[in-house]
Structure 1
Amino acid sequence: MNHSNHYFFAVRIPEETKIIMGNHIEKIKEVLPFSRWVNHQDLHITLAFLGAAPPEKREDAEKNVKEVIVESKALTLGINRLGFFGSEDSPRVFWADTEESEHLQLIRKKVFAACGKAGFQLETRPFRPHITLARKWIGDEPFQTVMLERLWGELQPEPLQFEASEVVLYQTNLNKTPKYEAKTIFPLR
């Protein structure tokens, strides 16, 4: 197995929701110039990024995650707005936000702790659940945040509700599209 591949645990977005978001992405592309757009099949909510994980540590993390989420229930989430990371006039990451969910926060804490127990040094910034849509602003004009609320309201007047019923260990395949491959699936009850 190629050790340069990166791995991460994420909440899987259901297929129907990916298709709706894929249609939204196509419309957003017409008005917002970003360098790289995420293939709709790759949409997810990252819980813990492992990086180039050695097989033994990855297996330990998988075992630990399975143990801590075995009793966790599926969760209902709603995509409710658009946002970004980076500078306001030239964002580096453009994303869709989910409504606040204590259940999602709890699942993330369990997965995060399970990966830490397996020896992974993980991201220390506070968890901000989001679904990455694009990266690197390339517009000639500065990015305008005021446009986001109107744009999302036109595309999706009500929050886009979906049931998340799986946590997945994904492997990144940089030379493929879609580039995230499900390696292990952990069902939520």
Structure 2
Amino acid sequence: MRLFVAINFSPALKNVLAGLLEELRQLPAAVKWVPPENIHLTLKFLGEVAPARVEEIGAALRRAAAGINPWHLEVKGTGVFPGWRSPRVVWVGVESEKPLYVLQQQVTREYLELGFPAASFTPHLTLGRLRPGTASGPLQDRLKSLAGVSWGREKVTAVSLMESSLTPRGAVYRPVLTVPLPAPDGAPSNEQ
């Protein structure tokens, strides 16, 4: 199983980003665009994992999420990785309150103990991947013009362990486990 830990977003925010994707698709650039339904915020990529390990991986996610209350983040701006000289990934940015970073650090720590290496974390939502050697002035100009645009604000109420299945038509994502974040008043919540 190919697994990752992510924050998923509401259909309303994905709709807004679908509109942005539709606009960007019209520009002349060799980009493999992400389907709107696949847009998410990756906290930790685990890679290929034996199905027998799912239970311990799920338990680690529950421990990582313990004590993290729901919070708000804003999806804002656009850009590319690693930089404008040789862009490979088109993204929208994420501005968040502190709980995002605390959760990500706890996820990293829990999975480090299970043998998954730590990786750097720059919160973003991938919109597309440019083919090597792609240069597109119109795409670059449009992304730079959208650098300060807010695409929406979301309340984060859960974190998910996701499975990525590679198919001829692209990746299909499915939640294996969704861990709700406890409400500040300690109200019970249901795990899916």
Gapped runs of 5+ residues in structure 2? Answer: 183-192
Match of 2:18 among 12, 15, 22: 22
- The residue aligned with 2:125 is 131
Match of 1:35 among 31, 47, 59: 31
Letter in 2 for 1:50: L
Secondary structure, in 3 states, of the residue corresponding to 2:87?
strand
1:169 to 2:152 alignment: no
1:160 to 2:152 alignment: yes
CA root-mean-square deviation: 2.3
Counterpart CA distance in 2 for 1:119 and 1:152 is 37
Counterpart CA distance in 2 for 1:172 and 1:88 is 29
Counterpart CA distance in 1 for 2:42 and 2:136 is 30
Gapped runs of 5+ residues in structure 1? Answer: none
Counterpart CA distance in 2 for 1:187 and 1:60 is 18
1:11 to 2:7 alignment: yes
Is the Cα contact below 8 Å between 2:65 and 2:103 reproduced in 1? Answer: yes
* Percent of aligned positions that are identical: 23
Mean alpha-carbon deviation: is it higher for 70-79 or for 173-182?
A: 173-182
The normalised TM-score by structure 2 is 0.82
State the Cα distance separating 1:121 from its structure 2 match.
2.4
Corresponding pairs, count: 180
**1:5-84 alignment, distance < 5 Å:** 5-31=1-27, 33-84=29-80
Is the Cα contact below 8 Å between 2:79 and 2:147 reproduced in 1? Answer: no
Is the Cα contact below 8 Å between 1:92 and 1:135 reproduced in 2? Answer: yes
- The residue aligned with 1:188 is 181
State the Cα distance separating 1:67 from its structure 2 match.
2.2
Is the Cα contact below 8 Å between 1:14 and 1:163 reproduced in 2? Answer: no
Counterpart CA distance in 2 for 1:60 and 1:114 is 10
State the Cα distance separating 1:90 from its structure 2 match.
3.5
